[in-house]
Structures are given as structure tokens and as C-alpha cells.
A and B are shown apart, each in its own frame.
Chain A
Amino acid sequence: MSVVFFAIAAILVISGGIGVVAARNIVYAALSLLVAMVGTAGVFLIGLAEFLALVQLLIYGGAVVIVILFSLMLTRIQDFEFLKANRQWPIALIVAMSLLGLLGIPILIEDSTTTTMGSTNISELGLSLFSDWAIPFELASLVLLIALIGAVVVVRRDNGEDK
């Protein structure tokens, strides 16, 4: 039964991804990204990571897609419509396909020693995040803070520089 749900989520992810790289209108591409993120959250649910599925929906579906749409609104959107791929798209297609072969063939010929699926509950996850991974966790918050301050500094319109 979970294979059926996984297939639905995988179809969402792949169609959303193809929509991102193939859409002519950039707003449609952003909405396809949202579809792909929701599908990824479904895959996380099937992979028994309920907390990360919620985080995925909140961060990507909520924050990331909204940030992209907002920045499209702040820049003039009609400049972005009807965008084409650049001239090297056949080479890009060849590179992507050969990489898919390079990744897919070892996956397919590998004799997967499948073990049973096991879930980890949220309290275990939080405990290990705040004990074993406490220093990387604090560093990640520092990285977020620096990135946000940096973003504000970069977009700020300072006097004398702009004409």
C-alpha cells in the first residue's frame, strides 16, 4: 500500500521538477517548485520522518516559494516571462542523462540488502539534536543570523551609491 502512496508522491516530485526546468513563465516555475516540495514532504512521510515532512512543508512550501514569489514581485515580472533555455541546452540534456545513467546503473545492479524500516520519534530526534549535535546546531543558528544580516546589508539602498 505504501508503494502506491510513494508512487503518487514520486509523480508529484518529478512532474514538479520537470515543471521547474521546463516552464516558460517563471511564476509557473515557482508554483511547480511548490508541487515538487509538497511531493517531497509526502516522500518524507513514507520514509517515516513525520517531523521533517512538516518542516519541509513549512520551510519550503511556506518560506522558500514565498520568498521567490516576493522577489519576482519586487523585480518587474514582465521581464522574466517567456524565458527560453540558453543555446547549450542539448549539452545540458546530455550531461544530465549521462549523470542519470551513472547514478542509476549502480543503484539498479546493487544487490540491496533491505532491512526493515524503522522510525525515530521526535523526542529522540530532539534529544540527539541538543546533546550530540548541540555545537553544530548553535553554529547553524549563527549561520542563519549572519545570512539574514548579510541579506539586509546587500539589498539596502545606501546613500550616494545609487544614482
Chain B
Amino acid sequence: MELIYFQLLAAILFCIGIYGVLARRSAVLILMSIELMLNAVNINLIGYAAFSSFGSAHRNLGQVLVIFIITIAAAELALAMAIILRLYRNKNNVNVDELDILKG
């Protein structure tokens, strides 16, 4: 195993997520694409944590950071899903290119 495999997989997954965020219309799908991008970051961190040349005292820093990212992603998902449900109830629509009420 080499670090480059982890890096390449993370780069590919991140670009798939970028494409999803830019190309999909439904807010739920954009949220799923954001989750994919967060996972790409986590893969990168795990790869660097496994191959780091730190001593054993600092080897777990990468995994701690992944734990925090997963926590914040869960909080973000709960809040975003609440907003999407509210939006659906009020506007009957979750397509982001038709929700331009903030356009002034």
C-alpha cells in the first residue's frame, strides 16, 4: 500500500462531489454530494494518518480530526434536512434554481 492510492481516491471522490453540487437541481442531492466531498477529505486524512512519519504520540491526530469532521457533518445534515423539509412545506419545491426568493 502506498499513500498515493489514498490521495488519488480522495481526489476522484472530491471531484465527483463537486460535479454533483454544481450539476444537480434538487437540494437533497446537493446535500448528498457534500457528504461525498466530506468523505473524500476523511479518506485523505486517514491515509495521511496511517503513513505519517510522526511518532506514535502524534499518529492519532488524523483520526481525531476525522471524528470531529463526522460529528460536524452529522449536525450539518440534520439542520439542512430540517431546512429542506420546511422549504418543501412552504414552497412545495426543493429545486435550488427555482428558489430565488433571496434575489431582491
Contacts and interface: CB of A to CB of B under 8 A. Distances in A.
B82 A56 contact: no
Contacts of A118: 50, 52, 56, 59
A26 B50 contact: no
| Interface SS of chain B | helix
Interface in A4-51: 6, 10, 13-14, 17-18, 20-21, 26, 29-30, 33, 36-37, 40, 43-44, 46-49, 51
Contacts, number: 235
Interface of A: 2-3, 6, 10, 13-14, 17-18, 20-21, 26, 29-30, 33, 36-37, 40, 43-44, 46-49, 51-52, 55-56, 59-60, 63-64, 67-68, 71-72, 74-75, 80, 83-86, 88-89, 91-93, 95-97, 99-100, 103-104, 107-108, 110, 112-120, 124-125, 128-129, 132-133, 136, 140, 143-144, 146-148, 150-152, 154-155, 157, 162
